[in-house]
Structure 1
Amino acid sequence: MHGSSLSAPVFLASFRYRREAQDAIEATGRPVIVSLRPDDAARRYAASEALIAIVDARGALQRGLQQVEQLSQAVQERRGGLLVLLSRSDAASLGDVYTAGATHYLISPFGASELGQSLRFVERSIRRMQKTSAEAAVASAQASIGGTARWEWSVGDDFVRTSPALAVLIGDPPHTDRLSLDDAFLRLDRRARAQARRAVRRIWQAGVPGEVEHRLILDGRPHTYVHHIRPTRDAAGSVIGLTATVEDLDSTLIERRLSAHFDTLTGLANLRHARAWVDEKLNTRAGHNPACIVVMFAISRFDQVNAAYGRAVADSLLQAVGRRLRRLLNDQTAESELPARLGGAEFAVAFAGPITLNQAVFFSQRIGKGFEKPFIVGGRVIHLSCRIGIAASDEEVTSADELFQRASAALSSAKELDPNSFQVFLSDEHGNPARFASLEADLRAAAERRGLSLLYQPQVDIVTNRIVGVEALVRWEHPLYGVLPAETLFAIAERAEFGTRLGEQIMRQACSEAAAWPDHLRDLRLSINVTAADMRAADFERIVAESLADSHFPPSRLTLEVTEGGLVEDLEHASEILSKLRQRGISVAIDDFGTGYSSLAYLKSLPLDILKVDKKLVTDLSGSTRDRVIVRGVVDMARSLGMVVVAEGVESESQLETLVREGCNWYQGYLCSPPLALGELPPFVENWQRARAA
């Protein structure tokens, strides 16, 4: 089996800069296999131990793409990675690079450190792919079923205690945990039984570790087991028992038996195992309400993907979805959660109590968010979407089949919604499973009766350490789902076509509350988010003006934060509206800057006063040279345009120190405070300003 450590060689196919590329790779600590003949590169790669292939296409792009095409199949069959080195002028040809079969790229100029970082990215992708091989599925299954196959025996005991994994290994039901001494040897024929007894007795009497090997007929075929036995001793050193781990030398039998529980393509549990798992949790966690929740999702139009690209690409896509699902669960299958592939393009995650519906909804949103990013398989960039159904157990649910049926019904209902949407199955007040949750209707009702709440997160001047403003953030405490954030609310409102009305209510409420702040908050600025729906509304300028006039909040203290995504559709219209608002004394900020596609166009075209650096760039600021360079460039550019720069998501002193060095003006994040309720804001600001003055 091929490894992916630093000791594994890297295969290099190069044209004009072979010596330079080889030196850079070797400087990372990796040995290099150099291909001198382009027409022989695929054969040499297949004959080598390399996992990573590098094609140096600098100055020879077309020859490099031909080389990538020749290598891609061999690299894909080995589940390896193909990195292409490009000249700066080749950046516009990235689509051709991926189409040819590359999995990663690096643009010149670069040094050994940048190349080393790219190689680590490739190695990380390879490890993720290896996790979904059949071997990984077997390992995952063994761990889920009960860990190591083992048994224990104590002197004077007539029973042997066994692990669930051993029960599966020898063909017994997984719940078997005790065997009598007679039953432990009963399956062996008379001669093998006598030999095994004598061998175990010798180990016990000698008090030294040993091995016992025997054959057993399972599934109509002979099979070989090895028991690795060691004595256990008391404090005085006397042998008081034996403990053993059991190894099945025929790994194909293990794989065949465990494939009844696990999907060997993705390494996730299959429907059979997921049902058994949910049944167990429903029986053992009855004290929790709900005892179990199933989140089920299906890839939309997957049959079209299969028809367009073929079975191999479709299988690779399913594996990629499985890997992305595992990452959402932090690559760990905990006791309280089980990811599964139910068949075809349907997946699920089962959660055991204690679990709330709100947590399941939040996880569903993360699944939907994950599908907003494309999948890159075999050099192809493929966009997928999904629909999600959620069902929680109640007193009426007594089996896994019922819970999965409810989740499937919710999923069917979700297929009528927009891509990456979810639907929740609920029972009515009489316990009859007859309706679905309608977030749209619930949100509309809550907005009309002013059931939404606003939180305020402080913004701090980096130089003076003084709180200079707050951002208003809307929250909704749903009776079933718990607290839902603004991102969810606006997505729901947009889908139900009352996003503009929701934005108006938030605007009026925020201005009204800010106007009533106590005297020591009278200098604070108020920032309010503006959505794409708000910008498209014909009466948006009137709504803002009336909100200020009715509340008597001064325009000079109001900042409207617009996201890049909200401006894409009509930049000219947005510029016109924002210019009129600025003439009233209102400031304009661009939110989440640095992650969109047209950021420079916004700076050039829009009347902006404040630029907010996206928290994704700030998160890894202390450890990423690239992020620091990007932030530095953004700050320099914004300040040269006379704009204030605000860093979002600041959580550590090291991030703040870096932002100070890079010249940011303000920061916002948990380092100062989480979002505060209206009543919490005045005392917090007062204490902060007093501590700063002291």
Structure 2
Amino acid sequence: MTKKFQIEHRLGYRILRWVLLVALLSGIVLSTAQIIVDANRVSDDLDRQANQTLSLIRDAASQAVYSIDEDLAQQVVDGLFEQPAIRSASITHPDGEILAQNSRILLPADYRSLTDPIFGPERHYRVELTRGTESPVVYGYLEVSVDTVYSAASWLERATLTFLSGIARAIVLGLVLFFVFHILLTRPLFRIINSISRVDPEHPGDTLLEMPQGHRNDELGLWVNATNNLLVTITENQEKQAEAEARVNRLSRYDKLTGLPNRELLLAMLGTALEEHRRSGDTLATFCFGVDDFKSINEQNGYHMGDQLLQTIADRLSGDGPNGPLVAARLGGDQFVVVEQHLKDGYQCAATSEWLQRQVARPVRLAGRDIAVTATIGIALYPDDAEHSEQLLQRAEQTMTLAKTNGSNQFQFYVASVDQKIRDRKQLERDLYRALAEGEFHLVYQPQINLDSRRIIGAEALLRWDHPEHGPIPPDQFIPLAELSGSIVDIGQWVLDEACAQAARWASQGMPIRIAVNLSAVQLRQDDLVDSVLTTLRRHAIPPGRLELEVTETGFMEDLDSAIEKLVRLRNEGINIAVDDFGTGYSSLTYLKRLPVQHLKIDKQFVCDLLVNEEDTRIANTIIDLGKSLNLDVIAEGVETEEQEFYLHNRGCHLAQGYYFSKPLKPDDFASFITSFHRKITANSTEN
């Protein structure tokens, strides 16, 4: 024991003093360096933010000083004061005459004596207000003074935290290093020797150790030599026991024939999955299916062939399904269970059911001939149908049994209403695939009116579907389904081709108007989009300026860079680009600055309650003002009353469409409408 205390004194406490000293000095140096770097960054951020602010309002300030508009200038200055860091702001003429100004005192703070020498009490910025590009004329100056106390406060807080945390980390690191040395080496040496010398080879122990270099004749060498022989025996016993336990566990939890989890393991796995889904709120689906008429297969081909068939089906169930990973299990006989997690809706379940039926139906080569089977599936959903694993599995089995009484090779949901809804949607999807080939689509055209000239300047092509059994299907019902299935690509190309063909026919009749065609997000992701559009224009001899492509905000935000690249190419060819349903999505200035857009379309939901709903009116006004500031034309959709048209026109919206002018019309009716509309406008002008 005396020797142990000597080792602690010579190594442990001496190392503690040196480790703490070195760690403390390192912490102070590194923390100081971090604080200096952060101060430089804060200083740069102050300048950058100030310059960004000046850049944003420079045009408005230039307009104010150019037009000597004191009200506008004061609005610009007052707008700057919405930022608490702005201490003073002014717009002056070149001769020093002030057009507008405002100021406030520096924010008092106890820490100014520390931060002002670093950042200064305030920072001054000045930009010239010019107009013109080649030889700009200076009409005045915009001057701003920024109070540094706000940024300095944040920096001081971080600096204090950085310094204290650096010191704390250094002390903790020193103590950790000391205790690691003290606990793992100094104190355990003699204890390990005493404990290992009493190890019985019949009982488990530690793993085999290697001889540490330089310690062959000291306490570690004695420990290794005394334990290695025992550990070899112990290790062999542990491995044998682990192998035996693994075999027993697998036999009790996995199906012997297929290797899939059995009912017991499935319920355990399902219980764990349900706990996770309770927290996330997602949907989980349990598919229970049985091979149709499996008894006949066994009788005709023998049980050995039936077992091979089940093994083949089990192999096909491993891996991913159409929506992601699947968990498969065998309940016994010809019954299997598949669990699919984190689903959005029952429609995904239907896709998985069809995938399972296809997997089972693939022919299996047995005894030199192909055997094809089918499966009937019962589906139960969490949390709609059950909240516990046993109940969920039971209801999936019950649904499968019920489905088998109604026939084979089908799937059925536990809740009848959900089952019917999914079936109707799947049927509509199948009908949609053949609708284009069967000629069930047609286009109608809604005129777009210039409110200044009262002339029809364009038409929006709108897709309609006349179902042979159900009649007209609303676009908001079949368009999302077409986008989900991918058929929107072919449908969208047909719409573009048909609209361009109609535009060519109208042009030959002396009605050269612009055609607006909607472009879906799926089409925008196609690599050949630009070539396809240009080829269509050339085929119908349509000038690019006669075509306008309408894209929604959510459509191009999925892959903004790729969308911008394609739209820029289209715009460079002369094609017009419009943002449809503006105000319902991101409505971000960031992408508007990058996109080659000519038009913003106010969504009809804001126009519908114009002058009735204050919030909708304010949004419509904001979009109109935004269009003016970005030199974009604004089109109002859904104009239905004379009051709406009058208000929009006076507010500065120059283009509109809606039922007040005309509902969407068939091509012949549209041509007649153009003639009658212009004749009516001419007659009114003559009377006035």
Q: TM-score, normalised by structure 2?
A: 0.39
Greater helix share, 1 or 2?
A: 2
Larger radius of gyration: 2
Q: TM-score, normalised by structure 1?
A: 0.39
